[in-house]
Amino acid sequence: MNNRSFSIEDQNLLESILMSRRDVRGNNFTDQSVSEESIDKILHAASMAPSVGFSQPWEFVVIRDIAVKKQIAASFELENDRAKKTFSSERQQLYSSMKLEGIVEAPVNIAVFYQPSTDPVLGQNTMLETGEYSVVCAIQNMWLMSRVMNIGLGWVSILDPNRVKSILKAPPEKKLVAYLCLGYVETFLDRPELEANKWQARKPIGHAIHRESY
């Protein structure tokens, strides 16, 4: 079963999922509820991710309570105000015009944490970040599974991780890797919003590829 051979049609389908996945923000979520069964399926996809030494170091806090979401959104507002000021005054106008998160609008939020191991982990010696990287692989699985279920997902990074940990009562040793917003959408946009509104152009992949060495 796991040794299954996939076809060219299967390749094309995966490519279509990868290409139509979008970062979804609050101007695009509908209030259609997302069932527990759907969330379970998305978290099951997370658990199929690779992890260093098979450590499976991911943890999830599933949030539906509007009071919790509002506290998180307040951290976003504070940090977003600060973040905006790092750009030129010209770019600040465009920055302000963009909706960058959907914390309150999304029916479900999921905070994703890394739980470091107290024992040595196979493969996690010289590159300790591989623990967190495993959690990121799980998040990408969640993003793709959500998309193929026609559920949008947005990753909010403009947050104070310590504030989020405090709101969610996370023990000190846990590291916040991502804060995700999930829900059904009005539409999946043709292109990333930052590309469409000319914040950042798509880079030709060829420029990022080197042969044998730099």
User: Nearest to residue 14, comparing CAs of 156, 107, 147, 175?
Assistant: 147
Torsion of CA 187, 188, 194, 197, to 10 degrees: -50
The yes or no reply on residue 99 touching its own copies (CB under 8 A) is: no
Q: Which of 34, 103, 178, 182 binds its own copies (CB under 8 A)?
A: 178
Report, in Å, the least distance between residue 48 CB and its own copies. Answer: 4
The yes or no reply on residue 97 touching its own copies (CB under 8 A) is: no
The yes or no reply on residue 202 touching its own copies (CB under 8 A) is: yes
Report, in Å, the least distance between residue 30 CB and its own copies. Answer: 14
Alpha carbons 152 and 143: distance in angstroms, whole number: 8
Buried b (16+ CB within 10 A) or exposed e, 148-172: eeebbbbebebbebebbbebbebee
Q: Which of 31, 35, 37, 65 binds its own copies (CB under 8 A)?
A: 65
Nearest to its own copies of 31, 204 (CB atom):
204
The yes or no reply on residue 184 touching its own copies (CB under 8 A) is: no
The yes or no reply on residue 159 touching its own copies (CB under 8 A) is: yes
**How many amino acids of this chain bind its own copies (CB under 8 A)?**
107
160: Cβ contacts below 8 Å, ≥ 6 apart? 75, 78, 79
Q: Which of 103, 143, 180, 182 binds its own copies (CB under 8 A)?
A: 143
Q: Which of 72, 147, 152, 180 binds its own copies (CB under 8 A)?
A: 147
Residue whose structure tokens are 């994703």: 112
Alpha carbons 112 and 136: distance in angstroms, whole number: 9
Nearest to its own copies of 53, 116 (CB atom):
53
Beta bridge partners of 152: 183
Nearest to its own copies of 31, 190 (CB atom):
190
Report, in Å, the least distance between residue 80 CB and its own copies. Answer: 9
CB 119 within 8 A of CB 34: no
The yes or no reply on residue 116 touching its own copies (CB under 8 A) is: no
